[in-house]
Amino acid sequence: MRESISIVLSGEAGQGLQTVEEFLVETLTQETYVFSSKEVMSRVRGGNNSVEIRVSNQPIQALRYTIDVLFLFNDHALERLLPRLTPQTIIYGEAPFLKSVPSQYKTKEVAFLDLGKQAGNRLYENTAMFGYIAGMIGASVENAKAIITKRFNKRGEDIVTGNLKAFDLGYDLGRQDPDRPKELKPTHFSPKKALTGNDVLSMGAVAGGVNYVAAYPMSPGTTLMTLLEEKSRDFEILVEQAEDEIAALNMVLGAWYAGARALTTTSGGGFALMTEAVSLSGITETPAVIHVAQRPGPATGLPTRTEQADLNLVLYAGHGEFPRMIFAPGRLEDGVEVMSRAFYMADKYQIPVFVLSDQYWLESMSQVDALDFNPKYLESFVVETKRDYQRYAFDKSGISPRGVPGFGLGYVKVDSDEHDEAGGITESFTMRVSMQDKRLHKFDLMKKDIMEPLISGSTKHENLVLSWGSTYGVIEEALDTHPEWDLTHLHFIQVYPLPESLKDIISKAKTIQVIENNATGQFANLIQMTYGVKVNQRILKYNGEPYHIDELITKMEATHE
């Protein structure tokens, strides 16, 4: 039976929540199933942020709303979390931090600061807390200590020793905690690696051959750029901070045109500024890979929170009509697959390809055993040009072979106006139609390269639950724990174009339910539009948080009454 504990750390930006999270997750990922995610305010210091670390005896990729164990980092760290407490929740912290806890809740004073000082420095208090939690849940001391040592090695022996001592002090106390939760150890388990969505996207980009990045900082899209800057020396990647998002995508197009594999990354607001250039990619048939990291809008909205409300924007960005492809990773490993595949598909079909993630997916840590890097995705479709090369030749393959300037004897003439085969401006009505048909015909060609959705649950295919992107883990857990609902889950990693193969399942289904992290049901609309069917029910959430498993089950139960 699936069981889990939800541990939450709450404090100010800058108080080290993330360090404790990383210690814990990296230790636990070697011995059990773990998932963690943070929610932070839009400020640099202060405020209130929290991290949830969920430990389970089964694979897990979802948060829980109610908290089992809560650690407070200061005296104002509780307020925002009050609704998530239950009579069972135990709240830990220094005595003064517990003062504000309403009397009906269980509290437990632990003097982490003192433990730190005992170990030699008040700065070790977070390590003591780590030790305490590790003790409570019975994590391996050996693993934990290895991680502490690795982390502090560069800072000298004293600091390592001090931190190890603080860990021990905490661990012993935690181990003796009479209220500590039942230990959840899976029966079979092989050590895993815990990574964030950002981590795997950056790996996927490298595996897709990225060698040029132009972007303008915007949360939560910036981290991917930062991680690629960190890899830029090892993998020969030119990273360029553009003056604005318009420049960023135009530069990415210039870079592909000149022979690079280029990426831009942004969020909805920054992407809105790129839409004209998306259209430019469309008519010039210049590939582009665009990472859009969703956060709640409209406009500035909630800059550090999560939502899936930019699907429409990405689907329809750009004036005029042209093909595109959109991926939205669900499982951690999808990040590598779709990001490297994006480069390949962009190059192959000469189209803009989107990776549509969200803050929650990007910044959560989950587990993988290993990652597959498909070497095919490095394959280049660029041709050496002959003297009579024509960029927009009507080729029997349906796609005009793409040369790059300086490689071969031809000229590569690319035009944003409607053009003839050579790339010169034309106003011929028939040429217009032929060129438009050539571009739109790629929709047909792309059919053989569409990723089918992940299908799970009931094989009856009568009552469908459709979803996309980051909601995968939480919906799977809900269905897994409620086989009696008899639902079939179709989860889309490729959200556009949608596969024709599903027409049957979808049009024959008795009921279709779509679960999304937005207010209007954008994917549900896409389903209606694509398959000409009616979606019976939309489960929606749009307060800036991802779904929590307990909340989702309640919402779904309500639909099964």
Question: Residue 533, Cβ neighbours under 10 Å: how many?
Answer: 15
383 binds, options other proteins, ligand TPP, a second copy, none, Cβ within 5 to 8 A by partner type: none
* Interface with a second copy: number of residues (CB under 8 A): 67
Find the binding residues for ligand TPP in span 179-218 (CB under 6 A).
216-218
Report helix angle 17-28 to 141-152, nearest 10.
130
Tokens 């609704």 map to which residue? 83
Q: Would you state the structure tokens that stand for residue 275, as one six-digit string? A: 């839409």
* Shorter beta-carbon distance to other proteins: residue 124 or 468: 124
Q: If binding is defined by CB under 6 A, does position 269 make contact with ligand TPP? A: yes
- Residues near 46 by Cβ (< 8 Å), separated by ≥ 6? 12, 13, 14
Hey, is 532 helix, strand or coil? coil
Q: If binding is defined by CB under 8 A, does position 547 make contact with a second copy? A: no
* Shorter beta-carbon distance to ligand TPP: residue 273 or 378: 273
Nearest Cα residue to 333 out of 195, 456, 451, 209: 195
* Shorter beta-carbon distance to ligand TPP: residue 78 or 274: 274
Candidates 97, 124, 256, 322; binder of a second copy (CB under 8 A) is 322
Q: Would you state the structure tokens that stand for residue 540, as one six-digit string? A: 């929606």
Find the binding residues for a second copy in span 35-64 (CB under 8 A).
41-42
C-alpha span between 71 and 349 (Å, rounded): 51
497 binds, options a second copy, ligand TPP, other proteins, none, Cβ within 5 to 8 A by partner type: none
Tokens 């181990």 map to which residue? 175
CB–CB of 258/405 below 8 Å?
yes
Hey, is 326 helix, strand or coil? strand
- 390 CB-side CA count, 13 A: 11
* Shorter beta-carbon distance to a second copy: residue 282 or 410: 282
Q: Which stretch binds a second copy (CB under 8 A): 71-79, 100-108, 268-276, 326-334?
A: 268-276
Q: How far is the CB of 47 from a second copy (least distance, A)?
A: 8
Tokens 């998932």 map to which residue? 35
137-165: burial string, b at 16+ Cβ within 10 Å, e else: bbbebebbbebbeebbeeeeeebbebbbb
* Shorter beta-carbon distance to other proteins: residue 275 or 467: 275
| Gyration radius (Cα) of the chain, Å | 26
Q: If binding is defined by CB under 8 A, does position 310 make contact with a second copy? A: yes
370 binds, options other proteins, a second copy, ligand TPP, none, Cβ within 5 to 8 A by partner type: other proteins
Q: Which stretch binds a second copy (CB under 8 A): 96-104, 120-128, 318-326, 382-390?
A: 318-326
Q: If binding is defined by CB under 8 A, does position 190 make contact with a second copy? A: no
* Shorter beta-carbon distance to other proteins: residue 183 or 417: 417
Q: How far is the CB of 539 from ligand TPP (least distance, A)?
A: 30
Q: Give the contact letters, 392-421, x = binds to a second copy (CB under 8 A), - = no.
A: -----------------------xxxx---
* Shorter beta-carbon distance to ligand TPP: residue 302 or 505: 302
* Shorter beta-carbon distance to ligand TPP: residue 9 or 278: 278
239 binds, options other proteins, ligand TPP, a second copy, none, Cβ within 5 to 8 A by partner type: other proteins
28-43: burial string, b at 16+ Cβ within 10 Å, e else: bbbbbbbbbbbbbbee
* Strand order from edge to edge, sheet including 325-327: 238-241, 212-215, 262-267, 288-294, 352-358, 325-327, 494-496
C-alpha span between 63 and 550 (Å, rounded): 9
* Shorter beta-carbon distance to other proteins: residue 36 or 89: 36
508 class by beta-carbon count within 10 Å (0-12 exposed, 13-18 middle, 19+ buried):
exposed
* Interface with ligand TPP: number of residues (CB under 6 A): 8
Q: Which stretch binds a second copy (CB under 8 A): 25-33, 182-190, 299-307, 483-491?
A: 299-307
Q: Which residues contact a second copy by CB under 8 A? A: 41-42, 246, 267-269, 271-273, 275-276, 278-280, 282-284, 296-303, 305, 307, 309-310, 312-313, 315-322, 415-418, 425, 427, 429-430, 432-433, 436, 440, 518-520, 522, 525-526, 528-529, 532-535, 542-545
